[in-house]
Amino acid sequence: MSVVIKGVEPGSLAAKKKIRPGDTLVAINKNPIRDVLDYRFYMTSSLVDLHLRRDDKSLLLRVRKGEYDDLGLEFETYLMDRQHTCRNKCLFCFVDQLPEGLRDSLYVKDDDSRMSFLFGNYVTLTNVTEEDILRIIKMRLSPINISVHTTDPELRVHMLKNPRAADSLRFLSMLVRGGIRVNTQLVLCPGINDGPALEKSLWDLAGYWPGLGSIALVPVGLTGHREGLYPLRPYSREEARAVLALTRRFQEEMLQKHGSRIAYPADEFFLLAEEPIPEADYYEDFEQLEDGVGLWALLSQEFADALEAEVPRPLSREISIATGTAAAPLLASLAALAQEKFPGLSVSVYGIPNRLFGGAVNVAGLLCGRDIAWGLAEKELGEELLIPSVMLRHETDKFLDDTTVPWLEEQIVTPVRVVENDGSQLLDAILGRGRKR
Q: Higher pLDDT residue, 113 or 344?
A: 344
98: amino acid identity, one letter = L
Determine the pLDDT at residue 151.
97
H, E, C per residue of the chain: CCEEEEEECCCCHHHHCCCCCCCEEEEECCEECCCHHHHHHHCCCCEEEEEEEECCEEEEEEEECCCCCCCCEEECCCCCCCCCECCCCCCCCCHHHCCCCCCHHHHCCECCHHHHHHHCCEECCCCCCHHHHHHHHHHCCCCEEEECCCCCHHHHHHHHCCCHHHHCCHHHHHHHHCCCCEEEEEEECCCCCCCHHHHHHHHHHHCCCCCEEEEEEEECCCCCCCCCCCCCCCCCHHHHHHHHHHHHHHHHHHHHHHCCCCEEECHHHHHHHCCCCCCHHHHCCCCCHHHCCCHHHHHHHHHHHHHHCCCCCCCCEEEEEEEECCCHHHHHHHHHHHHHHCCCEEEEEEEECCCCCCCCCCCHHHCCHHHHHHHCCCCCCCCCEEEEHHHCECCCCECCCCCEHHHHHHHHCCCEEEECCCHHHHHHHHHCCCCCC
Determine the pLDDT at residue 118.
45
Mean pLDDT of 225-253: 95
Confidence check: pLDDT of 248 > 90: yes
Calpha distance 161→221 (Å, rounded)? 18
Determine the pLDDT at residue 119.
47
Average pLDDT along the chain: 89
Confidence check: pLDDT of 112 > 60: no
Determine the pLDDT at residue 289.
86
Taking residue 87's Cβ as centre, other Cβ atoms within 10 Å add up to 15
Contacts for 244 with CB less than 8 Å, ≥ 6 apart: 265, 269, 270, 273, 275
Calpha distance 287→169 (Å, rounded)? 22
Calpha distance 295→276 (Å, rounded)? 14
Q: Is 303 in contact with 427 (CB distance < 8 Å)?
A: yes
Q: Is 311 in contact with 342 (CB distance < 8 Å)?
A: no
Mean pLDDT of 191-208: 97
354: amino acid identity, one letter = N
Q: Higher pLDDT residue, 239 or 76?
A: 239
Determine the pLDDT at residue 393.
76
Q: What is the pLDDT of residues 260-285, one digit of tens each?
A: 999 999 999 999 999 999 999 999 99
Helices 196-206 and 237-258 cross at an angle (nearest 10°) of: 20
Comparing 109-113, 203-207, 234-238, 241-245, the range with the smallest average pLDDT is 109-113
Q: Higher pLDDT residue, 136 or 106?
A: 136
Q: Is 85 in contact with 105 (CB distance < 8 Å)?
A: no
Determine the pLDDT at residue 395.
58
Confidence check: pLDDT of 258 > 50: yes
Determine the pLDDT at residue 34.
76
Tell me the C-alpha to C-alpha distance, in Å, between residue 34 and each of 28, 58, 110.
11, 17, 19
